[in-house]
Amino acid sequence: MIRAYFSASGRFTRRQYILYFLGPQLLFVILGTVYLLQWAGSVNFEKAYVAEGVSRLFLYLSISGFLLGLMPTIKRLHDISMSGWFVLAGLIPRIGSFLFFILAFIPGEKEENKYGDNPRQFLASGEAKP
């Protein structure tokens, strides 16, 4: 399951796409909330190095969250027969976020496509993926 974050080959179902985003995004929201509260002054860290550490942690998690989200998004694009290069649409402010939200609802191809076998056939049969 961890290998899916590092390989762009293959396809993801809607459920897999949502689950791969759920964990990292929840962590990002929690730490982002702490960062914003600290930045707004609601949470006052007595030591400056703690505030700087929270800021750096937020930056590192933002970058890693973006990178970890690339491969599942590319695989989801493959499931709907789109090129992985379409992931660059995420760089368009506001529109990009909306497009990736929509990916969770578009049904994938029911048959094998040029990006691989139908992942739902393996999930339904209980077989291990080759």
Locate the domains of the chain by residue range.
Answer: 10-125
pTM above 0.85, yes or no: no
Say which residue the tokens 């990736």 belong to.
Answer: 100
Instruction: For residue 89, give Cα distances in angstroms to 92, 99, 120.
Output: 6, 8, 26
Q: Which residues contact 71 (CB under 8 A, 6 or more apart)?
A: 4, 5, 6, 7, 8
- Are residues 38 and 45 in contact, defined by beta-carbon separation less than 8 angstroms? yes
pLDDT tens column, 66-96: 777 788 888 888 888 888 888 888 788 878 7
Q: DSSP labels for 98-110?
A: HHHHHHTTS---S
pLDDT tens column, 4-51: 667 778 888 888 888 877 777 777 777 777 777 766 665 555 655 566
